[in-house]
Amino acid sequence: MPQVQVVRLPHFSGLPLPAYATAGSAGIDLLAAITEPVELPVGRRTVIPTGLKLAIPAGFEAQIRPRSGLAANHGVTVMNAPGTIDSDYRGELKVCLVNLGQEPMIVTRGMRIAQLILAKVERLEWQPVENLDGTARGEGGFGSTGKA
């Protein structure tokens, strides 16, 4: 199991480190490390600090994903889902939330706002060619696989 170094910033004080909710959870819930409630109006986005800095191991990324409960109950999701935290980033983790719902939502201190998943990353090496191997799908794009 990869170990991830974590720094707790002063505004994280008193909050628990993110943890897996169940033995089968893929992600850990990130918490809002804010000092005052933040209103997230309909159609607007805001960046919420987590109060954490991480050292992601080389060969991995941290993915920031929406929480299904916020999406289903409030229409709130992560703007750039999944957000990627690169292994060489050392700044504070922040989550860009957007309210696609029908009512404003209030983000409060310690609220679970997103999930973090650690994922392996493969580096690619380009291999320029003149043509690609053919497939049954070919160049069929958006919606092409649903046609009879």
Task: Provide the whole-model pTM.
Answer: 0.88
Domain interval for residue 22: 5-122
pLDDT tens-digit readout, 61-102 = 999 999 999 999 999 999 999 999 999 999 999 999 999 999
User: Is residue 137 very low, low, confident or very high in pLDDT (cuts 50, 70, 90)?
Assistant: confident
Which CATH number characterizes residue 21's domain?
2.70.40.10
Q: How far apart are CA 123 and CA 125, in angstroms?
A: 7
User: Is residue 47 very low, low, confident or very high in pLDDT (cuts 50, 70, 90)?
Assistant: very high
The number of domains in the chain is: 1
**Diameter of the chain by CA atoms?**
58
Q: How far apart are CA 12 and CA 29, in angstroms?
A: 14
Q: Does residue 145 lie in a domain region?
A: no
Give the rounded percent of residues in the chain with a pLDDT score beyond 90.
Answer: 88
pLDDT at 139: 84
